[in-house]
Each structure stands twice: as C-alpha cells, then as structure tokens.
Amino acid sequence: MTEAIANEFPESASEAACDSAINEPRLWTGKGWTARVIKNEEDEGWAVAMIKDGESEPALVGPWTMGRDKKNPKPLDAAAFNTLVKTAAEVLRRHEQQLHAQLHKQFSVNTPSGRVCVTLDIVADEYDPHAILAASDAAGDEIARVRVAASFKLSPASAAAWIDDEFRKPA
C-alpha cells in the first residue's frame, strides 16, 4: 500500500466495522466496506479507496470525479457507494478465481476402462509446498492419490502417462 493510502486509513477496518454506518461526503461505510475519497498524490485529482471490513489493504483504488469547483472531490452518495461495493467485490472474486485456477488443474483422459479425471491441487505451504495428484473414475470414486512436488506440471500427456504407469508416483 502506498504511504498516502496508508495515512488515509489510520484505524483498522475492523474498528470501522464496529461503528454504525457513516455517510459523509468523503467517507461511507456499510455492507462490509469502507469507501474513502483521498487526495491523489501523483496528480491534481482525487481517488477513492475501497477497503473490506477486517482487511488492512484496499481491495480497489481508482480515480474519483472532481466536484463542480474543480478543486474538491465530488461527494460520495448511495448510488456511487453501491457501485463501488459491487466493483470491489468483483475484483476480489476475480482474484480468488485466478488463485484457484493457479492452484488447481484438471484433465480428463479416455482409457479402455472408461474416462478418468486427473486433478492436481497445489498446497502453497510456506514451509512444505507440495501438490496432490489424484485420479477418479466417471462415477467420481477416487482411484489413486499421490503426493508430488509443487512444481509438477499436469498436462493431458502427463496425466495419460501417470495412468499408463498404473498410478505410481511420478519421478
């Protein structure tokens, strides 16, 4: 977080969550979020930071509209706050989806005995990173499960090779 934004959030979001809803021109809270209009130190304009209750970093920081006097920011209102909440929640949702996609891979392989689904779930542990390579049949019953290096690359070819090797731990 930039120092300018950090200075705009002197209290933790959890402390703000304990207070009742605030509806001020530069500060709105509600729906689990805080919107704060801040001076954009990098240019002449203003920005709005959206922080989820309980978090220390903003989920979204974006430009904010100048008011009619071209010096001060346009005041926050209910419609703008609702739009900001929706946008910030979508940013978090996409981040979670991207993280899931990075840590979970899946391929289906057709075999003489039927379709086999092979998954790789990476456990991003700071001290013991690893992955779980698993296979299940068309009914969803687990056939095999082995622990592999977190760097294991799952592809249709490596999935088929693992099946052909009778689910032995890959080298």
Pair of tokens at residue 74: 């346009």
Mean pLDDT of 102-113: 93
pLDDT tens string 7-31: 444 444 444 444 468 999 999 999 9
Q: What is the mean pLDDT of residues 119-126?
A: 92
pLDDT (0 to 100) of residue 81: 96
What is the overall mean pLDDT for the chain? 88
| Predicted local distance difference test score (pLDDT) of residue 171 | 80
3-state class of 170 per DSSP?
A: coil
Mean pLDDT score, 35-44 = 86
Beta strands in the chain (DSSP E): 23-24, 27-30, 33-39, 46-52, 60-64, 104-111, 114-123, 130-136, 142-148
Least confident range from 69-73, 105-109, 132-136, 150-154: namely 69-73
Instruction: Give the residue-averaged pLDDT of 85-96.
Output: 95
pLDDT at 124: 86
Question: pLDDT class for 158, splitting at 50, 70, 90?
Answer: very high
Q: Compute the chain's Rg from CA coordinates.
A: 24
